[in-house]
Amino acid sequence: MLELKNIEFKVQSSKGELEIIDKVNLKLESGKFYVITGPNGGGKSTLAKLIMGIEKPTGGQIIFNGEDITDKPINERAKLGIGYAFQAPARFKGLTVRKLLSLASGREFPADECSAYLTKVGLCSADYLNREVDSSLSGGEVKRIEIASLMARELKLAIYDEPEAGIDLWSFAKLVESFKAISKGTHESVLIISHQERIMQLADEIVIIANGKIQKQGAKDEIFPELLKQLGEENSCAFRKESE
């Protein structure tokens, strides 16, 4: 369904050229649930943004359902069925939660349907519908609305960037339940960037990214025990560059 071929993303910094994504090759199949994990700064979010079109690769090709989308803008990729929930979502003065969900789904969203999606992310009060997505909402609330706005879309590939960030333990349990259900719902394939064991447990496949490269990719049952072992051992910094 999605294929990244030799994807490169370099940026200029004061220290010279930095390779954020280093010739990554990745294939995602339809109907599968993927979790990308790995250390901070390893290139996970950048890779997700390259898939959505928020960043443009400096080399390589992105093929989506047989079509080369490397040069397609964000909104056209969205129309092809790719969606992305930001790690740090934007706030909008004057835009209500209901309006945002309606814009996301591309139609006027009925109040009860809206509430159902908000309940999935642990926002249970109907009051949220007419609240503005501005600074009056807490970080955790905005984050959950962001997740709901992606869940509400019918997508071929839904990308969630660290959905657990800033979310309390109670809502997190609810969120995991919702992600469990979603793979059978509105999304054909799901890609979640996460550090959470409970989210990794939902995966069909786990991809480990560090230093801009794919370190490992494979079935959850194969990767997960190994990952736990590594993290438990002394060399838990094995992912990191020595200079850091």
Partner 1 sequence: MLKLDSDILKTIASISDIPEGAYNIRKNGSALGRHSTENIEIIPKKDKPGIDIIIKPNTKGESVHIPVILTETGLNDLVYNDFYIGENADVEIVAGCGIHNDGCQTSQHDGIHTFHIEKGAKIKYIEKHYGEGSGSGERILNPQTIVNLGENAFAEMEMVQIKGVDSTKRDTEAFLDKGAKLVITERLMTHSKQYAESNVDITMNGDGSSAQIVSRSVGKDESVQIFHPRVIGNSACRAHVQCDSIIMGNSKISSIPEIDANNGDAQLVHEAAIGKINSDQLLKLMTFGISEEEAEEIIVQGFLK
Cα 193 → chain centroid: 5
Q: Do 167 and 85 meet the contact criterion of CB atoms below 8 Å apart? A: no
- Name the residue nearer to partner 1 (CB basis): 134 or 226: 134
| Candidate segments 11-19, 89-97, 166-174, 232-240, binder of partner 1 by CB under 8 A | 89-97
Please give the DSSP secondary-structure letter assigned to residue 110: P
| Candidate segments 87-95, 137-145, 192-200, 217-225, binder of partner 1 by CB under 8 A | 87-95
| Candidate segments 91-99, 118-126, 162-170, 182-190, binder of partner 1 by CB under 8 A | 91-99
* Strand segments (E) across the chain: 2-13, 16-28, 33-37, 59-64, 67-68, 82-85, 155-161, 187-193, 205-210, 213-219
Residues 144-173 that bind partner 1 (CB under 8 A): 149, 153
Q: Do 10 and 20 meet the contact criterion of CB atoms below 8 Å apart? A: yes
Cβ of 33: how many Cβ atoms within 10 Å?
A: 19
Give the containing element (helix H, strand E) for 77.
helix 74-80
Phi-psi group of 17: left, alpha or beta (phi > 0 → left; psi -120 to 50 → alpha; rest → beta): beta
Q: Mask 25-64, x = binds partner 1 (CB under 8 A)?
A: ---------------------------x-x----------
Q: How many residues bind partner 1 (CB under 8 A)?
A: 25
- Name the residue nearer to partner 1 (CB basis): 29 or 76: 76
Out of 2, 51, 78, 208, the only residue in the binding site for partner 1 (CB under 8 A) is 78
- Name the residue nearer to partner 1 (CB basis): 62 or 104: 104
Out of 16, 66, 94, 232, the only residue in the binding site for partner 1 (CB under 8 A) is 94
Q: Does 120 bind partner 1 (CB under 8 A)?
A: no
* Strand segments (E) across 69-204: 82-85, 155-161, 187-193
| Binding positions for partner 1, rule: CB under 8 A | 52, 54, 73-76, 78-79, 83-84, 86, 88-95, 99, 103-104, 106, 149, 153
